[in-house]
């Protein structure tokens, strides 16, 4: 019975964990593959370090967004302090609210990593085109931000529901 | 995740592509007053191997640099064996003929191969063919037997050339990489067409063609053999009906135009790799691009030394990758 009584907070916590976990995994893959390409360019041309470093870091933002969603959810459900007494329905809603950030964060970080790899290749060939090279992976960021927005709006919205 | 295996390597290759010779530099070499002037320009470009006037050493050094870089970047070199089998079989051919002639010709061996040239040489000289890989061993035994029994050097060449083509095609297919498969297929198809043209010109019989031609997916060997037994024009007509219809006009122009066309086609097919950031393709394309530019430089230097006019040199210089 104790499980059923606490199922709401368990579901909400699962949502927070998934958001941080999948977005973090996606970012680590994205930053990792971009880092390999960046190291290749710096081996041949150390002067490009600062440019390729910026491109490498771009897929890292999803991990930060996942952390933010996880943190806000934990605060809302009272795990970080206060009362953790929430209904099963509310817990399930928190879980659903975290999923956009979890899935979009994971996929967009990997896609952004690939776009960064391509842009690092562009900088290797034409260092003067760095500004344009930044734009291509940055476009992928749009979808991570949209997911962050919907997750955060949903989490704050659920807090005000009397269910 | 196999496509992410070569990210570091491809990034380094992207930087190295900047140093490849482009068409305008080759044009400068073509218009240079002498071979010595060409060598000076190449040395300024960083081609600085060997003694100042020794172009062979310089070109050999450039080839070595390419493979040293690739060996540094690729852990499992077996995927790139497709580019090295031709050298292996050249070395095998040299070893068998050297053994038959009872003379030493150390300079005829090529350094870049899947097996060290010295190992092949020793295996043939000491009659230890078992130490060679299976496909090569069988071809070596057959070629040596043919040379000893008939004294026919051409028969020995046919056996080994065919075995080399089979090794290239098989390696391309087994690599699982579309680009390497294409390279294997194009290499075999171009070789078959060249054999057919030469056979038509010299009036070779059906048995010769059956021994020399290597099967490939894009050519119908029966039809090619029939065409080769007929005439050069019949070979060109057959090509018009095949996947290689663009090759027919070049074949009608001249043998050198056809050779150039084959090399240029390969360069055109590999050019999309300039925009591919993933996989082994850009590395393989870089190897071919380096081979092609070294070939162009060799042609220009030889032509300059022999006093060929600029237009004649231009006709022979290959297209560049960048």
CB–CB contact B7 A118 (8 Å)? no
Q: Which residues of B touch A44 (CB under 8 A)?
A: 11-12, 15-16
CA–CA dist A82, B177 (Å, integer): 58
The total domain count for chain B is 3
Do B9 and A120 make contact, defined as CB atoms within 8 angstroms?
Answer: no
* Cβ pair A117:B277 closer than 8 A: yes
pLDDT above 60 for B95: yes
Q: Is residue B275 included in any domain, yes or no?
A: no
Contacts of B15 in chain A (CB under 8 A): 40-41, 44-45, 124-125
ipTM of predicted assembly, 2 dp? 0.87
Structural domains present in chain A:
2-159 (1.20.120.610)
Q: Give yes or no: residues B48 and B109 share one domain.
A: no
Which of B277, B279, B322 should we substitute to test contact with A (largest number of A Cβ atoms within 10 Å)? B277
Mean pLDDT, residues B84-107: 87
> Does the pLDDT value for residue B2 go beyond 70?
no
Residues from chain A that touch B10, judged by Cβ atoms under 8 A, are 37, 40, 121
> pLDDT value at position A1?
66
In a domain, B136, yes or no: yes
- Please give the full DSSP string across A26-56, using - where no structure is assigned: HHHHHHHHHHHHHHHHHHH-GGGHHHHHHHH
- Is the pLDDT confidence value at B26 over 90? yes
Say if residue B172 is in the same domain as residue B186.
no
User: What CA–CA distance (Å, rounded) separates A82 from B81?
Assistant: 66
CB-neighbour burial class of residue B209 (10 A; exposed 0-12, middle 13-18, buried 19+): buried
End residue of a domain, out of B176, B194, B218: B176
Candidate from B4, B16, B277 with C-beta closest to A121: B277
Q: How far apart are CA B317 and CA B315, in angstroms?
A: 6
- From the list A37, A45, A125, the residue facing B8 with the nearest CB is A37
Question: Stretch B113-125: mean pLDDT, rounded?
Answer: 90
* B104 and B156 co-located in one domain: yes
Mutate to test the interface with A, among B1, B8, B11 (most CBs of A within 10 A): B11
Same domain? B90 vs B169: yes
Can you tell me the mean pLDDT for B90-118? 86
Asked, for residue B52, whether it belongs to a domain, the answer is yes
How much of chain B exceeds pLDDT 70, in percent? 99
Residues of B near A (Cβ–Cβ under 8 Å) read 4, 7-12, 14-18, 277-278
Contact between A55 and A119 under an 8 Å Cβ cutoff? The reply is yes
* Contact yes or no for B11 and A125 at CB 8 A: no
- B315, B304: one domain: yes
Say what the pLDDT of residue B179 is. 87
Q: What is the pLDDT of residue B86?
A: 92
Residues of B in contact with A128 (CB under 8 A): none
CB A69 within 8 A of CB A140: no
Residues of chain B with Cβ-Cβ distance to A51 below 8 Å are none
Residues B261 and B289 in one domain: no
CB neighbourhood size of A82 (10 A): 10
pLDDT bucket at A137, cuts 50 / 70 / 90 = very high
Q: Based on the domain organization, do B255 and B292 belong to the same domain?
A: no
Q: Which residues of B touch A114 (CB under 8 A)?
A: 277-278
What average pLDDT score do residues B198-203 get? 91
- Say yes or no: B169 and B186 in one domain: no
Instruction: Please give the residue that has the higher pLDDT: either B49 or B237.
Output: B237
Domain holding B319: CATH number? 1.10.132.50
Res B107 pLDDT > 90: no
Among A40-44, B111-115, B287-291, the least confident range: B111-115
Question: Which residues of A are less than 8 Å from B20 in CB distance?
Answer: none
d(CA B191, CA B56) in angstroms, rounded, equals: 26
- pLDDT surpassing 90 at residue A44: yes
Asked whether the predicted pLDDT for residue B1 surpasses 60, the reply is no
In a domain, B211, yes or no: yes
> Residues B263, B196: one domain?
yes
A127-131, B92-96, B107-111: the lowest-pLDDT one: B107-111
Residue A84 has pLDDT above 60, yes or no: yes
Longest Cα–Cα distance of chain B, Å, equals: 53
DSSP secondary structure code for residue B185 in this structure:
H
In a domain, B79, yes or no: no
B265 and B284 within one domain: no
Q: What mean pLDDT value characterizes chain B? A: 90
Asked if pLDDT for residue A60 goes beyond 80, the answer is: yes
The C-alpha atoms of residue A23 and residue B311 are separated, in whole angstroms, by 61
pLDDT above 60: residue B225: yes
Q: Which of B1, B6, B15 would best serve as a mutation to test chain A binding (most A beta carbons within 10 A)?
A: B15
Tell which of B247, B270, B293 closes a domain. Answer: B270
Average of pLDDT values for B69-81?
A: 91
Answer yes or no: are the C-beta atoms of A26 and A105 closer than 8 Å.
Answer: yes
Mutate: best of A26, A28, A39, A40, partner B, most B CBs <10 A? A40
- Tally DSSP H helices, then E strands, for chain A: 6, 0
Checking if the pLDDT of A162 tops 90, the result is no
Residues of A in contact with B4 (CB under 8 A): 33, 36
Range of the domain at B182: 177-270
Domain holding B163: CATH number?
1.20.1690
Lowest mean pLDDT among B77-81, B101-105, B154-158: B101-105
Instruction: Choose the closest CB to B7 out of A43, A45, A117.
Output: A117
Q: How much is the pLDDT for B112?
A: 83
Residue B301 lies in a domain: yes
Does residue B265 lie within any of the structural domains? yes
CB atoms within 10 A of CB B18: 13
**Residue A139 confidence (pLDDT) above 90:** yes
The domain boundary residue, chosen from B152, B176, B200: B176
The minimum CA-CA distance between B58 and chain A, rounded to whole Å, is 22
Q: A3: Cβ–Cβ under 8 A, 6 or more apart, which residues?
A: A10
- Evaluate if residue B4 carries a pLDDT over 90: no
Cβ contacts of B221 within 8 Å, gap of 6 or more: B192, B213, B215
C-alpha separations of A104 from A66, A92, A110, B43, B73 in Å: 10, 19, 10, 53, 34
Least confident of A18-27, A96-105, B106-115: B106-115
Q: Looking at residues A2-27, what average pLDDT do you find?
A: 93
Contact check, Cβ <8 Å, B12/A41: yes
Q: What is the pLDDT of residues B271-298, one digit of tens each?
A: 999 999 999 999 999 999 999 999 999 9
User: DSSP label at B128?
Assistant: -
Percent of chain B with pLDDT over 90: 61
What confidence score (pLDDT) does residue B300 get? 96
Beta-carbon contacts of B176 under 8 Å, excluding residues fewer than 6 positions away, are none
- Which DSSP helix (H) or strand (E) runs through B297? helix B281-305
Query: Residues A18-27: pLDDT tens digits?
Result: 999 999 999 9
| Alpha-carbon gap: A105 to the closest alpha carbon of chain B (Å) | 19
Q: Which of B9-18, B51-60, B307-316 has the lowest mean pLDDT?
A: B51-60
Rounded mean pLDDT, A116-131:
95
Do B264 and B193 lie in one domain? The reply is yes
Residues B53 and B116 both lie in one domain: no
Q: Which of A15, A34, A4 is nearest to A140 (CA)?
A: A34
Contact between B10 and A37 using a beta-carbon 8 Å cutoff: yes
């Amino acid at each position: 019975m104790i499980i059923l009584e606490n199922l709401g907070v368990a579901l909400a916590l699962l949502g927070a964990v998934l958001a941080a976990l999948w977005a973090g995994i996606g970012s680590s893959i994205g930053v990792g593959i971009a880092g390999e390409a960046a190291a290749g360019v710096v081996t041949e041309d150390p002067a490009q370090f600062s440019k390729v470093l910026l491109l490498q870091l771009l897929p890292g933002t999803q991990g930060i967004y996942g952390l933010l969603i996880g943190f806000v959810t934990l605060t809302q459900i009272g795990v970080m302090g206060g009362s953790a007494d929430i209904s099963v329905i509310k817990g399930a809603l928190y879980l659903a609210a975290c999923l956009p950030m979890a899935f979009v964060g994971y996929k967009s970080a990997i896609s952004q990593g690939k776009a960064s790899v391509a842009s690092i290749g562009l900088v290797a060939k034409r260092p003067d085109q760095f500004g344009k090279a930044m734009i291509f992976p940055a476009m992928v960021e749009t979808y991570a931000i949209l997911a962050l927005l919907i997750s955060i709006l949903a989490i704050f919205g659920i807090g005000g529901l009397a269910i | 995740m196999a496509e992410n295996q070569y990210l570091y390597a491809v990034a380094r290759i992207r930087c190295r592509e900047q140093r490849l010779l482009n068409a305008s530099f080759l044009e400068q070499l073509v218009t240079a007053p002498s071979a010595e002037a060409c060598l000076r320009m190449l040395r300024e470009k960083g081609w600085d191997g060997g003694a100042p006037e020794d172009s062979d050493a310089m070109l050999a050094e450039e080839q070595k640099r390419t493979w040293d870089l690739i060996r540094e970047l690729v852990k499992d070199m077996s995927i790139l064996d497709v580019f090295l089998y031709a050298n292996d079989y050249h070395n095998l051919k040299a070893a068998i003929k050297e053994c038959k002639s009872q003379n030493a010709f150390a300079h005829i061996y090529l350094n870049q191969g899947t097996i060290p040239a010295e190992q092949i040489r020793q295996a043939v000289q000491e009659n230890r063919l078992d130490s060679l890989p299976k496909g090569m061993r069988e071809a070596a035994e057959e070629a040596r037997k043919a040379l000893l029994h008939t004294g026919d050097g051409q028969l020995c060449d046919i056996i080994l050339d065919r075995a080399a083509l089979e090794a290239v095609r098989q390696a391309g297919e087994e690599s699982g990489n579309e680009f390497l498969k294409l390279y294997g297929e194009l290499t075999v198809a171009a070789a078959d067409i060249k054999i057919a043209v030469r056979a038509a010109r010299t009036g070779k019989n059906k048995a010769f063609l059956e021994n020399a031609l290597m099967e490939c997916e894009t050519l119908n060997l029966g039809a090619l053999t029939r065409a080769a037994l007929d005439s050069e024009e019949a070979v060109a007509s057959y090509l018009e009906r095949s996947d290689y219809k663009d090759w027919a006009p070049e074949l009608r122009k001249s043998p050198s135009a056809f050779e150039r066309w084959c090399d240029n086609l390969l360069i055109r097919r590999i050019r999309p790799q300039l925009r591919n950031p993933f996989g082994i393709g850009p590395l393989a394309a870089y190897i071919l691009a380096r081979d092609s530019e070294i070939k162009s430089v060799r042609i220009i230097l030889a032509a300059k030394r022999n006093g060929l006019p600029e237009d004649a040199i231009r006709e022979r210089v290959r297209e560049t990758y960048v």
